Amino acid sequence: MNGLTSILLGIAATLLTIFLTPRLQHSFWKDQRREELRLAAINKMNKLLAEFIVISYEMVGKGGYKPNREFFVAFEETYAEIKALFADVTIQEFKKVEVMIGPNLGPQGGSVNDFVKARDAAFRALYREVGLIK
């Protein structure tokens, strides 16, 4: 009887392992892939906003910076990724940056420094959600 119980437990453990291992691996893979996508979106947005800031500083006193169509297309593509990958609370922080970029003006309703502060707060929120900062 004791030997039969051991055999049945061994078979049950083997079947459980066969059944659960692929599902657990897939779950871990999905989580890892989501974090990779989040970090890629953050990096793309960081490059876009760095470009915006540099050109805005260069254009101070010259009528302001008016981003071109390509900038807005890239910004909207990346912003859509961020909206899909992050929680609404984090997106609310990022919206403060979005409203400072307009098709006809550079930073609206503030200085380039105000824009940099809003950008920094948005990135802190994004990185906090990814778990890289507290």
- The answer to whether residue 102 is domain-embedded is yes
- The answer to whether residue 76 is domain-embedded is yes
The predicted pLDDT at position 105 comes to 44
- The answer to whether residue 46 is domain-embedded is yes
- The answer to whether residue 93 is domain-embedded is yes
Host domain of residue 87: 34-130
The predicted pLDDT at position 4 comes to 79
> pLDDT truncated to tens, each residue of the chain (134 aa)?
677 788 878 787 787 777 777 777 767 888 889 899 999 999 999 999 988 888 776 766 666 667 788 988 999 999 999 999 999 999 998 888 888 886 544 445 567 788 889 899 999 999 999 988 87
- The answer to whether residue 68 is domain-embedded is yes
- The answer to whether residue 120 is domain-embedded is yes
Question: Which residue carries 């990096």 as its tokens?
Answer: 43
